Structure 1
Amino acid sequence: MDKISLFGLLLGLTAIVLGQVLEGGHIASLVQFTAFLIVIGGTTGAVMLQSRSEDFVAGIRLVKWVFVPPQHDFRRVLATLVNWSQQARRGGLLALEAYANSEKDPFIRRGLQMLVDGAEPDMIRRALELEVDGYEERARAAARIWESAGGYAPTIGIIGAVMGLIHVMENLTDPSKLGAGIAVAFVATIYGVGSANLIFLPIGNKLKQHIGMEVRRREMLLEGLYTIANGENPRMLESKLAGFLH
């Protein structure tokens, strides 16, 4: 659990609600279903319109990384690569077949299988580089839906505000309906700007950080597998990949 993400979200929302209370307002005045429907529904529709379906679905699935991030233990990766290098020097590349068969990560399994099959080191590098580039492109496209939502939400909030003011102008002769229209107008703006800056944009930025770390992990594995394919000494491999730890 990424506690700082959860704490940050709660702190931001609490600060807004507490500020409302300290100013003498009521929390209930911030709860407007109509404004919520306009902002969230409109923003979601705009993001869906600009995105591919697979990118939209992947972006929704990635949001779990904000609170339960993937583990990127680079020291453990280095230790694993050194072990594979030692096994390959002792028993040849075929000694890695058992690791390839038991590996759950498709990226690692493919790299190990290419080693076992005797692929040329440069071929292994090119194939894995293409896979890393493809992963990064897909993952960043998925994360961009949250950045897009952060861009659309404030504008949709303004649309909600204008709609509320239109409702007010239509009912100037009926004072009993003015309050509801004005409330929708101002709360829609709060929802638009607040959701963009407290939720959508921070989520997009956090996902980009995790994607960058995952790409870094795959690049480390790529370099390690390439080094093993070249038959270099395990100590040389460890020294070569030490920079990834920093």
Structure 2
Amino acid sequence: MDTSSLGGILLALAGILAGLLLEGGRIDQIMQPTAAMIVFGGTLGAVMLQYPLATVLAALRRLAQVFFQGKSAGQATLKQLVEFANKARRHGIVSLDQDLAKIKEPFLKQSIMLAVDGTEPAELRKIMELQLDNLTEREEKIPAVFESAGGFSPTIGIIGAVLGLIQVMQHLDHIDQVGRGIAVAFVATIYGVAAANLAFLPIAGKLRHRIREEHRVKEMVIEGVISILEGMNPRMIEVKLESFLGAGSKAKGRKAKESAEAATEEVPA
């Protein structure tokens, strides 16, 4: 669970609702199903018009990453690359062919496969960077879907408010109901602006951050495999690749390594 995402949305909602209640309002005043239908239905329709259905569905599938942060693959990938470097130094790069079936990450697997097949380091870098560029171009559309939704929803909220006002103007003969009708009409505007600034735009930012983390690990893979091909010392490779990981990841990795070494020392001879 990403406590930052969960805490952020709860804090924002609590602040807004507390302000409403302190001003003497009631929560039921902003609970308007028709306004929600206009804003969210209209926003979804506009987004589907702008992007292919496959892109919209891919963006929706990524929503879970906003609130649930998967275990970082950075340290595990670094450890795997160092193991491959040690094996390649002892038995040659071709010995890594036996490990291909165990590699689950497709990008790493393809990089090692190219290295085993005798691809030159410069050519391997060119191939894998091209793949990473194409992947980046595709995945950049995912946060862009939510950014577009954040742009559409306030305007569609205004459309909802205008529709509500049209209905109010048709009943001016009941002047006592006009004020209440206008208040209800503007709920759609609240939904549109709130959806954009409390949901769509922050979600786009968080997904962009997640995607960048994934791409950084892939950049580390390219640099690691090329370093193995060039015969660099495994310890030097480890130090070099640690620069791709954040300070928190480095600290966790060092702690895990120290724990493993301590456990090894405690084993009686």
The correspondence of residues 73-152 of structure 1 with structure 2, limited to 5 A, is: 73-152=73-152
1:192-241 CA-to-partner distances (Å, cap 9, x unmatched) read 00010000000000011111111111101110011112222223322332
- Distance in structure 1 (CA, Å) of the matches to 2:70 and 2:139: 14
The list of structure 1 runs, each at least 4 consecutive aligned residues, that deviate by more than 6 angstroms after superposition, is none
1:245 is displaced (CA, Å) by 3.1
Residue 184 of structure 1: how far off its partner (Å): 3.5
Distance 2:190 2:203 in 1: 18
> Contact 1:99/1:112 (CA < 8 Å) preserved in 2?
no
Alignment of 1:8-47 (within 5 A): 8-47=8-47
User: How far, CA to CA, are the matches of 1:111 and 1:49 in structure 2?
Assistant: 38
Q: Would the aligned equivalents of 2:163 and 2:185 in 1 still touch at CA under 8 Å?
A: yes
Bigger shift: residues 136-145 or 76-85: 76-85
> 1:221-236 residue pairs with structure 2 within 5 A?
221-236=221-236
**Matching residue of 1:2:** 2
Rounded to whole Å, the distance in 1 between the matches of 2:128 and 2:177 is 63
Q: 1:70, 1:210 within 8 Å by CA — same for their partners in 2?
A: no
Cα deviation, residue 17, structure 1: 1.5
Counterpart amino acid of residue 14 in structure 1: A
Looking at structure 2, the residues matched to 180 and 127 of structure 1 have their Cα atoms a distance apart, in angstroms, of: 64
Q: Distance in 1 between matches of 2:14 and 2:182?
A: 24
CA deviation map 1:110-167 (0-9, x unaligned): 1111122222222221121112112211111111101111111111111111111111
CA–CA distance in structure 2, aligned partners of residues 103 and 171 of structure 1:
69
Residue type at the aligned position of 1:56: V
SS in 1 for 2:186: helix
Structure 1 counterpart of 2:266: none
TM-score by length of 1: 0.94
Contact 1:59 1:142 survives alignment (8 Å): yes
Which residue identity is paired with 1:212? R
Tell me by how many angstroms 1:176 deviates: 6.6
Rounded Cα–Cα distance in structure 2 between residues aligned with 1:200 and 1:65 = 14
Determine the structure 2 residue equivalent to 1:167. Answer: 167
Moved more, 111-120 or 4-13: 111-120
Equivalent residues of 2:100, 2:109 under 8 A apart: yes
TM (norm. structure 2) is: 0.86
Matched with 2:196 is 196
Task: Return 5+ residue gaps in structure 2 as ranges.
Answer: 247-269
Contact persistence 2:29–2:184 (CA under 8 A)? no
Which residue is equivalent to 1:61?
61
- The number of residues matched between the two structures is 246
Kindly state the Cα deviation for residue 183 of structure 1 after the two structures are TM-superposed.
3.5
Q: What residue in structure 2 maps to residue 185 of structure 1?
A: 185
Amino acid at match of 2:68: V
- 1:68 and 1:210 mapped to 2: Cα distance? 11
Secondary structure of 2:129 counterpart: helix
Q: Paired residue for 2:220?
A: 220
Specify the alignment match of 2:249 in structure 1: none
Structure 1: segments with no counterpart, 5+ residues: none
CA distance in 2, matches of 1:136, 1:129: 10
Q: CA RMSD in A?
A: 1.7
CA deviation vs aligned residue, 1:52-105 (integer Å, no higher than 9, x gap):
222111111111111112333534433321211110111112221232211111
Residue deviations 1:25-61 (CA, integer Å, cap 9, x gap):
1111110011001110111111111112221111111
Native 8 Å contact 1:160 1:184 kept in 2: no
Return the alpha-carbon distance in structure 1 between the equivalents of residues 24 and 98 of structure 2: 68
Task: Please say if residues 66 and 207 of structure 1, whose CA atoms lie closer than 8 Å, have aligned partners that are also in contact.
Answer: yes
How far is 1:180 from its partner? 5.9
